[in-house]
């Protein structure tokens, strides 16, 4: 198919990585984002080595590293006392063991790197204030339908429009979501205002009865990131932009370690959202419309894999779309191949995140066996993450990759 043209619904991390990946394989791309600007909604994200390998394929890893923070260790501490359960090296180990670094990056910084690269490599490909309300398969083409009555027509439409995906809803109807009984707080605070009560330069999970928190650093260590998850049923909004109060957040972590309470107290804004769980979908495509990222496999945050799974999807999809795709049967085969290559992995990661939701919310005494096991076998935690972090998106046989 000459001049293959793809439209991507959504200019978040998954959509931008998908666009950049398709460019690598000879596609023309248009990213349609409904917002007027690519904002900084969200806070810190963790990019494990499997995600960094995707960035390296796109020749953007160094750009992201310049704006990220590489944690020294992964550690677990008891939320109230701060007692260490385990601590394992990460900064030097990640590249040696898994072939790429482990990074913490502000969501807006990663988005900026991706968007800047897209604008440089495909001028005019990022279209803002373009709200897609549906799609229409038209034989060998597909139309993205906009809310103003206009449309974009191409050979493929990728739904990278998140947990409330318009593309997924048209494709599969409304999907049932189960409230987990957990609400998450998130905030960022400049390190300089935290004083002596600054969380360690690690990826640290603070665990306890019915709640847990995660702290780590961003922007070369200048910013502290906080995520706190509490079991409660009185807040069930899944919006990332809803806010609570400092007093409410402090009450949820009453009598916890001063490191945790200090970052809550010094934060200016306290976002919170309810966590919902969803089952794997039976399919990810309809004709020439296909899904990536949270649109097809939304993740609970307890394995820190939501962004990296979307990044893997984008590269995997591009590698599936090789050869002549003029016939609908060719497109169907390619998109089936993409789905089959991803569904098992993303479903396992979803299940792993669901399991950790319970692992992190136990009384302090329950972590004594973990503490003993990691002392006896220091490599245990590394081994438990090998299946996620060691992964590389497989190359497509006979693929053509454009050299830029």
Q: Which residues are catalytic?
A: 216
Q: How far, in Å, CA of 38 to CA of 109, rounded?
A: 11
Please answer whether residues 186 and 304 qualify as being in contact, where contact means their C-beta atoms are separated by less than 8 angstroms: no
| 394: its two tokens | 């497989």
**Strand 141-146 and strand 151-154: pairing?**
antiparallel
List, edge to edge, every strand of the sheet that includes 151-154: 132-138, 141-146, 151-154
Half-sphere exposure of 194 (CA within 13 A, CB side): 24
DSSP secondary-structure letter at 295?
G
Query: What secondary structure letter does DSSP report for 381?
Result: H
* Tokens 């993740």, located at residue: 299
397 CB-contact burial (10 Å; exposed 0-12 / middle 13-18 / buried 19+): exposed
Give the span between the Cα atoms of 382 and 92, in whole angstroms.
13
The greatest distance separating any two alpha carbons of the chain, rounded to the nearest whole angstrom, comes to 64
CA–CA separation, 6 and 155 (whole Å): 6
Strand ranges, E, within 18-108: 28-32, 44-47, 73-78, 84-89, 103-106
- Do 76 and 204 contact (CB within 8 A), yes or no? yes
Closest by CA to 81, choosing from 263, 261, 258, 262, is 258
163: Cβ contacts below 8 Å, ≥ 6 apart:
238, 276, 294, 295, 298
> Measuring CA to CA, which residue among 165, 140, 169 is closest to residue 330?
140
With contact defined as beta carbons under 8 Å apart, do 132 and 167 qualify?
yes
């Amino acid at each position: 198919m000459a001049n293959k043209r793809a439209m991507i619904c959504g200019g978040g991390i998954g959509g931008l990585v998908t666009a950049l990946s398709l460019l690598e394989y000879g596609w023309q791309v248009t990213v349609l984002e409904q917002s007027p600007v690519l904002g900084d909604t969200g806070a810190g994200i963790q990019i494990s080595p499997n995600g960094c390998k995707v960035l390296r394929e796109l020749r953007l890893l160094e750009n992201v590293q310049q704006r990220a923070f590489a944690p020294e260790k992964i550690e677990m501490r008891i939320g109230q006392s701060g007692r260490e359960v385990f601590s394992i090296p990460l900064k030097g180990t990640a590249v040696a063991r898994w072939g790429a670094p482990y990074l913490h990056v502000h969501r807006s910084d990663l988005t900026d790197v991706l968007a800047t690269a897209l604008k440089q490599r495909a001028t005019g490909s990022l279209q803002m204030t373009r709200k897609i309300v549906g799609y229409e398969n038209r034989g060998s083409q597909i139309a993205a339908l906009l809310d103003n009555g206009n449309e974009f027509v191409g050979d493929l439409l990728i739904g990278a429009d998140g947990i409330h995906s318009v593309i997924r809803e048209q494709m599969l109807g409304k999907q049932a979501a189960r409230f987990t009984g957990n609400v998450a707080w998130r905030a960022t605070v400049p390190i300089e205002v935290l004083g002596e009560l600054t969380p360690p330069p690690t990826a640290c999970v603070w665990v306890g009865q019915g709640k847990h928190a995660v702290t780590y650093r961003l922007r070369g260590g200048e910013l502290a990131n906080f995520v706190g998850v509490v079991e409660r049923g009185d807040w069930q909004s899944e919006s990332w932009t809803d806010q609570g109060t400092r007093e409410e957040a402090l009450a949820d972590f009453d009598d916890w370690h001063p490191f945790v309470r200090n970052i809550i107290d010094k934060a200016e804004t306290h976002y919170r959202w309810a966590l919902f769980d969803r089952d794997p979908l039976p399919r990810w495509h309809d004709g020439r419309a296909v899904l990536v990222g949270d649109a097809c496999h939304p993740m609970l945050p307890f394995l820190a894999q939501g962004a990296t799974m979307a990044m893997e999807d984008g590269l995997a999809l591009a590698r599936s779309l090789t050869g002549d795709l003029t016939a609908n049967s060719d497109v169907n085969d390619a998109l089936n191949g993409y789905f089959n290559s991803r569904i098992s992995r993303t479903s396992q990661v979803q299940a792993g995140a669901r399991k950790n939701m319970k692992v992190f919310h136990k009384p302090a005494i329950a972590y004594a066996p973990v503490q003993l096991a990691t002392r006896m076998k220091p490599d245990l935690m590394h081994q438990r993450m090998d299946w996620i972090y060691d992964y590389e998106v497989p190359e497509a046989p006979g693929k053509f990759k454009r050299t830029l």
